[in-house]
């Protein structure tokens, strides 16, 4: 495997000049540069990133922590991150984080703590103070997308607002018995995405005078129902069957915390012979690429764009003079929430007259 010394020899210059000519740093005569570049491609020279990292302290590699690969939102974010990093000449090292357990701490205490990643992007994870502290101690910039934890840079939508908006939409249509399919941890982790969306739902129904019902089998009539489930489609389906199974207790509208859950609810409704939106209105969150196909009303966000931005922020934190401590806010719009948009489709409508 050719090293820079070989290139230098072939081009008749010193290693130092070869390095400058190839990396573009420092001044080299145009002619010399061409000779060096020619020599390099001649022998198929490619710089060893490890050697460069060793001396510069920069790896040009970003660690990405994600709880699931196979959920649309996360995949889309990952996609945005990947493209942006690639264009910037950075590598992406992926860590598929187990919810908890020894594997999780190994990721933070070993993999991410090493000098192999310049910065870390964390997607949809509720970070513990210890995890954040460890990264800070190693002076690694951390950019979060969603999730929770006291971190300096976080890109997020207004999840509380999303919960409120979705709920208002249903209320305005005239629904008075509304269920919210919240993500797991909505009550135990109030600061999490699931928790915030649920809070938005609860406050809005409460403000509308709807009582919070103990569970889905509470007697009919107006009220708000809260159910926690995994944010995927199968769990949405199961919860949907449960929720919609008994005609007497059935809500007329469901606000699902994710589009995938909503798809599950829609299929459950179909399975039960309910017609939409006549018998049931459903609204989701995300702007899933299949939402149109399911004719699902949803609150769109742009995960790919969030991924792109997260990289930009991370790179900016890296670019700033080393520390990042006193640097000006690297977040766009002073950390304002990312935009969302209510897209009304055929899955929501006024309830059938009682």
Partner DNA sequence: TTGAAAGCGGTACCAC
Partner DNA sequence: GTGGTACCGCTTTCAA
Where on the chain is the footprint of a copy of itself (CB under 8 A)? 1, 44, 46-51, 53-54, 59, 61, 64, 69-70, 72, 75-76, 78-79, 82-83, 86, 91-96, 103, 106-107, 110-111, 113-116, 137-138, 233-234, 237, 264, 267, 270, 289-290, 293-294
> Alpha carbon 129 to chain centroid distance?
20
Q: Name the residue nearer to DNA (CB basis): 34 or 341.
A: 34
Instruction: Say which entry of DNA, a copy of itself, none residue 5 contacts (CB below 5 to 8 A, set by partner kind).
Output: DNA
Q: How far is the CB of 44 from a copy of itself (least distance, A)?
A: 8
Q: Name the residue nearer to DNA (CB basis): 1 or 354.
A: 1
Pairwise CA distance, residues 84 & 192, whole Å: 27
Residue window 33-52: x/- pattern of binding to DNA, with contact defined by CB under 7 A: x-----------xxxx--xx
Instruction: Say which entry of a copy of itself, DNA, none residue 313 contacts (CB below 5 to 8 A, set by partner kind).
Output: none
User: Contact between 12 and DNA (CB under 7 A)?
Assistant: yes
Binding piece for DNA, criterion CB under 7 A, among 22-30, 137-145, 182-190, 322-330: 22-30
Q: What is the 3-state secondary structure (H, E, C) of the chain?
A: CCCHHHHHHHHCCCHHHHHHHHHCCCCCCHHHHHHHHHHHHHCCCCCCHHHHHHHHCCCCEEEEEECCCCCHHHHHHHHHHHHHHHHCCCEEEEEECCCCCHHHHHHHHHHCCCCCCCEEEEECCECCHHHHHHHHHCCCCEEEECCECCCCEEECECHHHHHHHHHHHHHHHCCCEEEEEEECCCCCCCCCHHHHHHHHHHHHHHHCCCCECCCCCCCCCCEEEEEEECCCHHHHHHHHHHHHCCCCCCCCEEEECCHHHHHHHHHHHHHCCCCCCCCCEEEEEECCCCCCCCCCEEEECCHHHHHHHHHHHHHHHHHCCCCCCCCCCCCHHHHCCECCEEECCCCCCCCCCC
Q: How far is the CB of 198 from a copy of itself (least distance, A)?
A: 25
Pairwise CA distance, residues 111 & 93, whole Å: 10
Pairwise CA distance, residues 100 & 218, whole Å: 34
Q: How far is the CB of 322 from DNA (least distance, A)?
A: 13
Instruction: Say which entry of a copy of itself, DNA, none residue 59 contacts (CB below 5 to 8 A, set by partner kind).
Output: a copy of itself
Residue window 236-265: x/- pattern of binding to DNA, with contact defined by CB under 7 A: ------------------------------
Instruction: Say which entry of a copy of itself, DNA, none residue 23 contacts (CB below 5 to 8 A, set by partner kind).
Output: DNA
Q: How far is the CB of 161 from DNA (least distance, A)?
A: 45
Taking CB under 7 A as the criterion, the residue among 27, 101, 209, 354 binding DNA is 27
Q: Name the residue nearer to DNA (CB basis): 12 or 174.
A: 12
Instruction: Say which entry of a copy of itself, DNA, none residue 83 contacts (CB below 5 to 8 A, set by partner kind).
Output: a copy of itself
Which residue ranges make up the site for DNA (CB under 7 A)?
1, 3-5, 12-17, 19-20, 22-23, 25-29, 31-33, 45-48, 51-52, 54-56
């Amino acid at each position: 495997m050719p090293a820079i010394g070989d290139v230098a020899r072939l081009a008749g210059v010193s290693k130092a000049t070869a390095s400058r000519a190839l990396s573009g740093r420092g001044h080299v005569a145009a002619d010399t540069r061409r000779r060096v570049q020619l020599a390099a491609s001649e022998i198929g020279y490619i710089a060893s990133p490890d050697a460069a990292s060793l001396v510069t302290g920069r790896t040009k590699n970003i660690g990405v922590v994600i709880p699931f690969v196979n959920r649309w939102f996360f995949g889309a974010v990952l996609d945005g991150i990947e493209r942006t990093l690639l264009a910037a000449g950075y590598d992406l090292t992926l860590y598929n984080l187990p919810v908890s357990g020894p594997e999780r701490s190994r990721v933070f205490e070993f993999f991410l703590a090493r000098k192999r990643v310049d910065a870390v992007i964390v997607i949809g994870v509720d970070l513990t103070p210890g995890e954040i502290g460890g990264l800070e101690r190693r002076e690694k910039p951390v950019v979060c997308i969603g999730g929770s934890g006291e971190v300096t840079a976080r890109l997020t939508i207004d999840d509380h607002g999303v919960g409120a908006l979705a709920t208002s939409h249903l209320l305005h249509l005239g629904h008075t018995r509304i269920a919210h399919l919240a993500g797991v941890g909505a009550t135990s982790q109030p600061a999490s995405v699931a928790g915030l969306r649920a809070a938005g739902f609860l406050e809005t129904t409460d403000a509308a005078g709807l009582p919070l019902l103990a569970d889905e089998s509470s007697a009919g009539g107006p009220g708000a129902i809260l159910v926690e489930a995994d944010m995927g489609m199968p769990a949405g389906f199961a919860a949907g069957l449960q929720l919609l199974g008994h005609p007497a207790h059935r809500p007329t509208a469901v606000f699902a915390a994710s589009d995938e859950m909503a798809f599950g609810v829609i299929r459950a409704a179909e399975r039960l012979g309910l017609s939409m939106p006549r018998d049931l209105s459903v609204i989701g969150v995300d702007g899933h690429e299949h939402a149109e196909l399911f004719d699902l009303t949803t609150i769109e966000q742009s995960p790919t764009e969030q991924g792109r931005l997260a990289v930009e922020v991370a790179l900016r934190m890296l670019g700033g003079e080393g520390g990042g401590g006193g640097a000006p806010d690297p977040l766009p719009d002073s950390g304002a929430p990312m935009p969302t948009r209510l897209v009304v489709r055929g899955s929501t409508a006024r309830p059938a007259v009682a």
